[in-house]
Amino acid sequence: MTFAFVVGRVVFVVAVAVTVAAVTIVGPGRLVETRRTFRERFDAIVPYVGLLAVVLVANKVARDVGPEVSELVGIRITGWLRRVDGRLLWPLYPNDTPQVVAWLQSMATPELTAYFSLVYVYGYVFLLVFPLVAYVSLPRPEPIRRTMIAYGANYLIGVLCYVAFVAYGPRNLIVEQAEGLLYTQYTHYQFVTNAVNDETNVFPSLHTSMAVTAALLAWTTREEYPIWVPISAVLAVSVVVSTMYLGIHWATDVLFGIALGWVSVAIGRRFETTPPTVSGFKDRLDGLKNAIPVRRR
């Protein structure tokens, strides 16, 4: 019941937020136009929708099977993450360098905890869902295609990393210095986060990479939605900080998450005009083969 209730509330709040944003940012004109030309627009993105569905199914399988495989073949890197995190603030504190997460939490207040908890759950979902609505409402299909490819790339690369690396977040290791604030203060969210992800899926931070992706995509559509650029930027930065503030991710996860977000957008732009296909992939592979000089007799 707790689980259904929490999920219901997230869905409701995000639906309201997306509706409000759609009316104010996208505007009634675009929405009406989208409704009218829905079929054509849908046709323009069909191959991409299929691709995203494949990725999401693969991801679901990987998240169920992944942790088990990961337990057997994955490299345990928690110790390394802790070590690297402990050095990142060296320029600020050369003598007694604190852990990034502990440093952030040293500034914690109940208000900040509430803000970051809300952003981590609601803000994040909104940040990902709204672009889909906003970009479907644009007459040119590239932004929505780019978005779907970029989201898919995030998931795919993220899941591969989760299988390859086994890592636990700060809340599971440096418990004296960092608290799993979201889960001790707003425990009910843990039923949801636990259902969508495994606690060893920490490196890299998908929250970060997806948020960064959404913000970078906002920049690519700044002509159409200028107001979405600052909103998404503030939300993305808040999500990124929240992952560390709440003790869920190491700063190193976040750095790699930012890189992944950037790479994903690059991949999205690369394939926004032609969807990646199996034959296309084969062609490129053949091209690669031909590029390597092979001595023939």
Partner 1 sequence: MVPDGVGDRRAFLAGATGAIAAASGCLGGMRNLAGRARTDQLSLRISTVPASHDPYAVRIANRLAANLERAGIAATVDPMSPDVLLRETLLNHDFDLYVARYPSRGDPDELRSMLYSAYGEEAGWQNPFGFSDLETDGLLDEQRTVPDSERPEVIGELQRRIVRHQPFTVVGFPDRIGAVRDGQFEAWPEGGLADPTAYLRLDRVDGKSTLRLSLRNGRITRNRNPIAAEHRDRGALTGLLYESLLRTGGDPADPIPWLARRVEWDPEGSPAATVRLRETKWHDGEAFTARDVAFTYGFLKDTSIGGFDTPVPTPWRRGRLSLVDAVDVRSTDELRIEFTTENRTLAHRALSVPILPAHVWWDRAGSADIAGIDLVGGTTEALVTPNEAAIGSGPLRFEAATADESLSLVEFPEHFLHAGDTGGIPDRLSDPPRFDRVEFDVVPSHDAAVELLAADEVDASADGLGASVVPRIVRADEVSLATDRSEEFYHIGYNCRRSPMTDPRFRRTVARHLDRTALTDDVFGGYGTPAETPLGGRWVPAELEWDGAARLSFLGTEGELNVDRARETFREAGYQYDGDRLVRRAPS
- Measured distance CA(206)–CA(211) in Å, rounded: 8
Among 99, 117, 154, 200, binds partner 1 (CB under 8 A): 200
The packing angle between helices 228-245 and 206-220, to 10°, is 170
- Which C-beta is closer to partner 1: that of 136 or that of 202? 202
Q: Interaction with partner 1 in 177-196: which residues (CB under 8 A)?
A: 180, 183-184, 187-188, 190-191, 194
State the minimum distance, in angstroms, from the CB of residue 158 to partner 1. Answer: 20
One symbol per residue from 250 to 279: x for binding partner 1 (CB under 8 A), - otherwise; what is it? Answer: ------------------------------
> Do residues 252 and 89 make contact, with C-beta atoms less than 8 angstroms apart?
no
Least distance from partner 1 to the Cβ atom of residue 117, Å = 14
Does position 1 bind partner 1 by CB under 8 A? yes
Residue 99 as a binder of partner 1 (CB under 8 A): the answer is no
Q: Is the dihedral of CA 140, 146, 151, 156 positive or negative?
A: positive
Instruction: Give the interface segment with partner 1, choosing from 13-21, 89-97, 170-178, 225-233 (CB under 8 A).
Output: 170-178
Which of these, 135, 152, 159, 155, lies nearest to 270 by C-alpha position? 152
**Burial of residue 23 (number of CB atoms within 10 Å: 0-12, 13-18, 19+):** exposed
Q: Select 1 or 107, whichever has its Cβ closest to partner 1.
A: 1
Q: Which is nearer to partner 1, 78 or 221 (by Cβ)?
A: 78
Based on the shown chain and the rule CB under 8 A, indicate whether residue 176 belongs to the binding site for partner 1: yes
Contact residue for partner 1 among 23, 40, 83, 283 (CB under 8 A): 83
**Min CB(241)–partner 1 separation in Å:** 22
Shorter beta-carbon distance to partner 1: residue 126 or 168: 168
Q: Scanning residues 108 to 167, which ones bind partner 1 (CB under 8 A)?
A: 166
Shortest gap between Cβ of 127 and partner 1 (angstroms)?
A: 24
61 binds partner 1 (CB under 8 A): no
Residues 211-250 that bind partner 1 (CB under 8 A): none
Size of the site for partner 1 (CB under 8 A): 26
Binding flag, residue 100, partner 1 (CB under 8 A): no
Q: Rank residues 76 and 270 by Cβ distance to partner 1 and give the closer one.
A: 76
Tokens of 225: 């939605």
98 vs 275, beta carbon nearer partner 1? 98
Using CB under 8 A as the criterion, which residues of the chain lie in contact with partner 1 when the complex forms?
1-2, 71, 76, 78-79, 82-83, 166, 168, 171-176, 180, 183-184, 187-188, 190-191, 194, 199-200
